[in-house]
Amino acid sequence: MMDPDEMDLASEELVRRGYSRDLADDIASRLDTIELSPDGKWVIRDDDNKIIATIDPV
Amino acid sequence: MPFQEAVDTLDLRSIIGSTMNSAEWSAVPVGLHNRAYFSSKVASVRVLQRSRDDIRDFLTSARGVNEKGETFLKSGSRQAFVKRMQDLAIAEGMGPLVPEDAGTVRDFTSQTRQELIWDTQVRQAYDQGDWMQGQDEAVLNEFPGQELIRDIPVKEPRHDHAQYEGVVKLKTDIAYWKRINQDFGVAWGPWGWGCGHGVRDVDRAECERLGLIAPGTQLKPVVEDFNAQLQASTENLDPDMQALLKTALGNQVRIRDGVARWVTNQGNSTADLPPGAGQPEPAAAPAPTPSPVDAPAGPSTASPASIPVRVNPVSDGAKLGTTLTDIGKQAVQHALRQIDRVHDDGKLPPILIRRLPAKASHTKQGQYIHGGAAIELRQQNARRPELTAVHEIGHWIDELALPGSGFSSGDSPALAEWRKAVLGTQAVRNLSDNPHYAAKPKHRKYLLRPRELWARSYAQYVATKSNDPAMLAQIAAIRDGTSGSWVDSHWSDSDFGPVREAIDKLFATLKWL
């Protein structure tokens, strides 16, 4: 389970990497379960199972 | 195939650190003594926990998986145990108090001492397990007697045992067998320090010929009688004994109205004890305080479940990676033990449980990687390691064991009743509606996702059903607002009732209970 501070930090990190605030927040709220791409990146999907981001670990 | 009764007897022992020596321990009431995992003059609970976990791994033939996916036996031999414990003891600076003790049984870092610990603990577990099996009514009436025999030659045979050698007595004659076992005060072996005796089962025909039992007489097991004796030994303690226990054992023992009990908060078993007999109480959880919007959380009133025989335990699928620290492994093993107490899983494919990569955020506690690829858990400064482990295992079960495709919590018809129950709780209504949470919409959104609701409710289900003090304390810390999590991310006992019932029904339907 993620705590609020954990999620805030992840979101801030994503904003630093250039993601919009909304997308960063959305990604951060999905990090308790993740998918790994073959090259070790985290694949993030929305509620419709569509990939919304492929990121380096946060 | 593990010798389950032997494992169970080890699980009943609370880990107790104390500077007491063997003679002082022998003065401790047998009901406490028999329910403690201790070693003379060893105060470190952490070291004792490691020692007990290694013995348990041996008894259960536990296997791990390294990062290459290779399976290995975690504790395969007495020699490996001795080496590991010697290394740990040396690293912990637990050498002899005086130089002349070096290498002797008084030196915790010595091979001799560790071999003695292994021999005693393994033998106690096996012998008590044998005794338990022998008390099965059918077995008892087929083999009602036993004879003390010499199993192992020893350098200095105990003269006081010579009189009992070759004598056959009924297994139900507790007084007789306890008389032999002066050192440990129980009706099974080992029969004393440095004793090489064992017992041989004697069948009904021979017992009848010896006049120990009349033809047609049916014996009743005496497990309850023996437990009552153990319990009695912890009651009506005189003031001197109470003072001694408090001085030597501090907060590890609780004495109320002259009755002593262990108080434990480490990752050992606290459930599944037979009645009485020094049964440990959970360590006190942080006192819950009412949240502004919900009923106060309180300690669970769930009674400990008995250990069922699991056909497909969840722990079978969990492979502990070598990147976990010892403490991290203990947390996962503890979590798995509680899960196994509560339910089966059908048959989950294996999953590797490993350390959360260093690159992950320093506040992240754990994560589940889709497809059962891995569970990753924080190893340093983990806030609630046991609860997090169960939570992430909940995601694994959601995706790969519950009926439905993908994460079943979202839309599987099999979980409709659970969804209705969880969405109807006050805690979830608070998360949705309370303006207090409006400032952090992404966290609210996260907490309200079905898969997250499932993982949290599953973790609370396991904690309450197993009545596990460690996880209940972690939930209490969330509920009283001291953990950094939102209070309503978990439920009060009363609020959680319908969710627990829904999961009970679901698991019963799946034949997991």
Q: What does B74-121 look like in DSSP terms, one character per residue?
A: SS--HHHHHHHHHHHHHHTT---SSGGGTTSTT-TTSHHHHHHHHHHH
Residues A3, B363: C-beta atoms closer than 8 Å: yes
In angstroms, what separates the C-alpha of B440 from chain A's closest C-alpha? 8
Identify all chain A residues contacting B481, using CB atoms and an 8 Å cutoff: none
- B459/B472 Cα distance (integer angstroms): 10
- A25/A19 Cα distance (integer angstroms): 9
Identify all chain A residues contacting B370, using CB atoms and an 8 Å cutoff: 33-36
Identify all chain B residues contacting A10, using CB atoms and an 8 Å cutoff: 361, 364
pLDDT of residue B264: 60
Q: Which residue has the tokens 């904003």?
A: A15
The DSSP code for B408 is H
Say if CB B264 and CB B283 are below 8 A apart.
yes
Identify all chain A residues contacting B335, using CB atoms and an 8 Å cutoff: none
Mean pLDDT, residues A18-40: 90
Identify all chain B residues contacting A8, using CB atoms and an 8 Å cutoff: 440
- State the ipTM, two decimals: 0.91
CA-CA-CA-CA torsion sign (B105, B107, B111, B113): positive
Residue B263 phi/psi, 5° resolution? -120, 120
Identify all chain B residues contacting A26, using CB atoms and an 8 Å cutoff: 442
CB-nearest to B360 from A11, A29, A58 is A58
| Full 3-state SS string of B460-489 | HHHHHHHCCHHHHHHHHHHHCCCCCCCHHH
| Full 3-state SS string of B422-433 | HHCCHHHHHHHH
Closest residue, chain A, to B372 (C-alpha): A35
Token pair belonging to B489: 């991310």
Residue type, B16: I
Residues A5, B357: C-beta atoms closer than 8 Å: no
Distances (CA, A) of B485 to B133, B222, B365, B410, B480: 46, 49, 12, 23, 10
Token pair belonging to B7: 């494992």
In angstroms, what separates the C-alpha of B473 from chain A's closest C-alpha? 16
Residues B406, A49: C-beta atoms closer than 8 Å: yes
Residue type, B159: H
pLDDT of residue B62: 65
If you count residue pairs, one on A and one on B, with CB atoms under 8 Å apart, how many are there? 88
Token pair belonging to B156: 């200095």
Identify all chain B residues contacting A56, using CB atoms and an 8 Å cutoff: 359
Q: Which residue has the tokens 């190893």?
A: B379
H/E segment holding residue B331: helix B326-342
Closest by alpha carbon to B463, among B454, B474, B452? B474
Residue type, B495: D
pLDDT of residue B271: 29
Say if CB B487 and CB B478 are below 8 A apart.
yes
pLDDT of residue B369: 92
CB-nearest to B485 from A3, A11, A26 is A3
Residue type, B221: P
pTM of the predicted model as reported, rounded to 2 decimal places: 0.50
pLDDT of residue B71: 59
Q: Long-range contacts: B371-377, Cβ < 8 Å, 24+?
A: B371/A35, B371/B399, B371/B400, B372/B348, B372/B396, B372/B399, B372/B400, B373/A36, B374/A36, B375/B318, B375/B351, B377/B324, B377/B328, B377/B331, B377/B332, B377/B353
CB-nearest to A6 from B359, B364, B456 is B364
Say if CB B196 and CB B153 are below 8 A apart.
yes
CB-nearest to A26 from B368, B442, B486 is B442
In angstroms, what separates the C-alpha of B477 from chain A's closest C-alpha? 13
- B344/B320 Cα distance (integer angstroms): 19
CB-nearest to A32 from B359, B367, B445 is B367
pLDDT in tens, chain B (513 residues): 567 778 888 888 888 888 888 778 878 888 888 888 898 888 888 788 889 888 888 888 766 666 666 656 666 688 888 998 998 888 888 888 778 888 888 899 999 999 889 888 888 888 988 898 899 888 999 999 999 998 887 777 777 888 899 999 999 999 999 999 988 888 999 898 778 899 999 999 999 999 999 998 999 998 877 887 887 888 888 887 888 888 888 878 888 777 888 876 443 333 223 333 445 554 443 333 333 222 222 223 333 334 456 678 898 889 888 888 888 888 999 999 999 989 988 778 889 999 887 766 666 789 999 999 899 998 877 889 999 999 999 999 999 999 988 899 999 999 999 999 999 999 999 999 988 888 888 899 999 999 999 999 999 999 999 988 889 999 999 998 888 889 999 999 999 999 999 999 999 999 898
In angstroms, what separates the C-alpha of B315 from chain A's closest C-alpha? 20
Residues B368, A33: C-beta atoms closer than 8 Å: yes
- A51/A37 Cα distance (integer angstroms): 11
CB-nearest to A7 from B369, B446, B456 is B446
Orientation angle between helical segments A21-28 and B441-448, nearest 10 degrees? 30
B42 has which bridge partners? B18
Residues B388, A1: C-beta atoms closer than 8 Å: yes
